[in-house]
Structures are given as structure tokens and as C-alpha cells.
Amino acid sequence: MGRKTRSKGLLLSLLFLVSGCSVTYPKPDGPYAVGTTVIALEDRERAEVYESTPGHRSVVLQVWYPAEVASGKRDLYINRPLANALEKWMGIPALLLGDPQPSSSFLGAPIFTDHERFPVVLFNHGYGSFASQNYTQMEALASHGFIAIGLSHPYTSLLTQYPDGRNLERADNAYWRSLPGLAKNLDAEGMRFKAFVDRIRDSGTATQKLRVLQDLTQSEFYRLLHGDFDTWVADSLFVLHQLPGLNDSNPLLGHRMDLERVGIYGHSFGGAVAAQVALEAPFLVRAGLNLDGPQLLYHAESTTSLEVPFAFVYSTDTRIGNITCDQSGLNDGFFLSALAPVYRLTVQGASHENFSDLTYIDALKGNPVLGSIDNRAVGKLTSQLIVNYFAHYLQDGPEVNLLQLDGKKNR
């Protein structure tokens, strides 16, 4: 749920109409029941840049955590306001999603107390998407003893749902206004992007690869996202700095967060945000992961040397127009210049959207939106990878053998 256009939304609508809707989400497979809650935080140090009469910047968190019991009211994977937003902005008819499906997460369930503390993992979704975009991965993490936090960025997330029931849709901006023009010739955009990735792979040194990536970041498609990228990074840093206070004050979480063991990851634009946070504030996170997101590299003073373990996961079958783009190695400049163990994993046959919960929509089988790989299998594989990766770095679990999954390690 990263790069999106109205044309993709119309395509999804047609696919639903032709194939019908069949969405079955996998149940979390860990030993813990899963609870969930929504928390709003206000950053009194920052003005809200997206309002004409700005107040303070705020963010909304959906938190998944190990619960005492699997009972109570279940949260929904996609509730009505979110379904309506998907219809309005992505062209997916809400009626074709069927009745809202109960998740495996229980609203406000008591947190599991027969355990000292749980590591924390912060997640950033793709651009224009929403905090629960990878709901099944959040449930998987919580069921395996993590506190997982999905971050909503008001005005740029598809829909921000506040604890008091308010719903805030994404705002219009220069990026969204530019998409109709780009959509008229997506093949040309796809060819340009593919050429950049090929140049990165053909470059020999980390410096050369980073220079090409910087050129890509300055291209028309990405240049309009620079301001939002800075905001998302600032939002993420704000949340990480607020975790101690949240740990002390929130009665539901009750000092259960292990703030010495914090990880961060994201998908697409959110994956690039996760890596940027790890670059800027390695003292706040112990490990990170980027699911198929090109790094944005445009600040002259930006560091490019990762000091904490990190993993880059790539698709090979992402389509821009009719052009298939193999994204593997896109961020190899960071891979080669890292000061910590960094992994690179390519999932053959996966498309960009296979790393989100879109992969469980069976109506998209065989369509380039999801790539040629088994859509449900790659969804489960990604969840297992994320759980095992953070279990190694945040729970002292065994090392993830990415080499068996077509992966590489920089040391």
C-alpha cells in the first residue's frame, strides 16, 4: 500500500467485480492472546503543518500487545469508516469487502502480567495507507511476546481514527494532484524507475550507488514527498521519545514495555522512514527492517552508515504501468556502508503489495498487483520473517538464516 494511483484503484474495483471478494486472514500463531487499543499523542513542540490555522502536531497509535485472555469485543480488520475511505480514495467498493471481519485482537483486553516486560516494535505504513495496513503482522508480533505499534500520520495517512471516534481522511497535496499526470504515462515512469535501479546495481561502490539513489530521490515522483518524509521521521522520533512516559502513565500497558529493546520497521515509504530513524537515532532502536521501500536521500548532511542491525527486503515483480521492476539491491549503498550487521533479502516473484495485507485478497491472485508468487504463502513467510528477525535482536532468539531465503549479509 505504497505507490498508488486512481488507475490502480479502478483496476482493483474491476478485479473485485469479476472475481468476487474472498478475504481470509491468518490467525496469529504465537502462544499469547492479543489485545489492542488506540492512543492519541500530542507533540506540543511542533506545529501542525497541514492545517491553515495550525495547532500542535498530533499522531495516533494502534497498539497490539500480549493479552491475559482471548475474550471480549474483537477489533475489526477493516471497519466501515476505513472501508469507505478505501472506496473513496482507492476505488475499492466498500460493499465488495463484505461485512467487517472480526480480527483476532480483543479491544482493551488486560495485558499479560506473568512476564517482566515485552520488547516494542514500531511500524510505519506505506504512503497514503493506514496504521493497520499490516494488521496480521501486528497480531503475529503481539502473539509472540512483542508490543507492536502502528503509527498513523494525520493528513497523510488514508484515514486516521482517533480514540474518541473522530475520523480524519487524508488531505489533498501537490503529490496527489500530480498523480493524474503521471498516470497518463505510467510505462515511461516505470522505465525511468527501472533504469535507476539498474544503474544502482551496476555501480561498483557504496558511494556510487548512493549517488544514483540520490538522483532518484530528486526525480519528480519522489521530490514532492520530501516534506512528508521529514514529518513522518519526526513523528516516529516523537513516539519513540514518548514511550517512557506512555509506559508510566497508560493504565492498560502498565509498565510492560521493555524500552531497552525497541525495534522499528515499515513498508514502502514507511520502510524508508524506519531506516532513516535508525540512521538518525541509533540510540533509540536496536534493530530495523525496510519492506521494499526506496530510501529517500536528499539532505546533504544525512548519514548513510547504519549503526544498528537492519534488513532490506525486496520484491522482484513490482509493476509500474506495464513495466516489471526488480527492486533488489535498490538500497545497497546503505547495505555496503553499514557499521552493523545488515541483511538483504530478495523474495522472488513478490510484488510490492505482497508485503501488506493486500496479499490475502484472493481476488487479486494472478494479477500483477500481487506478483506471481503464492500470495498467501508470501504473507505468512513475511510475518514469520518479521517475528523471527525481531526475536533474534530484541528477545535474544536464534539468528535468522536469511541466506536460506535468497538473502545476503554484509559481514
DSSP assigned state of 101: P
Residue 312 domain-assigned (yes or no): yes
Express each pLDDT in 72-100 by its tens digit: 999 999 999 998 898 888 776 666 566 78
Q: What is the pLDDT of residue 48?
A: 92
Listed in sequence order, the residues at least 6 apart from 1 whose beta carbon sits closer than 8 Å to its beta carbon are 125, 126, 128, 129, 130, 133, 267, 268, 353, 356, 358
Residue 40 domain-assigned (yes or no): yes
Q: Which CATH number covers residue 122?
A: 3.40.50.1820
Number of domains in the chain: 1
Listed ranges 7-21, 35-49, 391-405; the one with the highest mean pLDDT: 35-49
Q: What is the pLDDT of residue 207?
A: 95
Express each pLDDT in 51-62 by its tens digit: 877 799 999 999
Residue 254 domain-assigned (yes or no): yes
Which set of grid coordinates corresponds to residue 337? 556502508
Residue 168 near residue 155, CB atoms below 8 Å: yes
Long-range contact list for 227-231, CB < 8 A, 24+ apart? Answer: 227/49, 228/127, 228/153, 228/156, 228/173, 228/175, 229/269, 229/272, 229/273, 229/276, 229/296, 231/49, 231/153, 231/156
Q: What is the pLDDT of residue 363?
A: 77
% the chain with pLDDT above 70: 91
> What is the domain extent for residue 248?
6-409
Q: What is the pLDDT of residue 407?
A: 65
Phi, psi of 256 (to 5 degrees): -95, -5
Q: What is the pLDDT of residue 5?
A: 43
Residue 388, judged by CB atoms within 10 A of its CB (0-12, 13-18, 19+), counts as middle
Residue 209 domain-assigned (yes or no): yes
Residue 41 domain-assigned (yes or no): yes
Three-state DSSP at 376 gives: helix
Residue 1 domain-assigned (yes or no): no
Q: What is the pLDDT of residue 174?
A: 85
Q: How far apart are CA 370 and CA 344, in angstroms?
A: 21
Express each pLDDT in 161-195 by its tens digit: 999 999 999 998 888 888 888 778 889 999 999 99
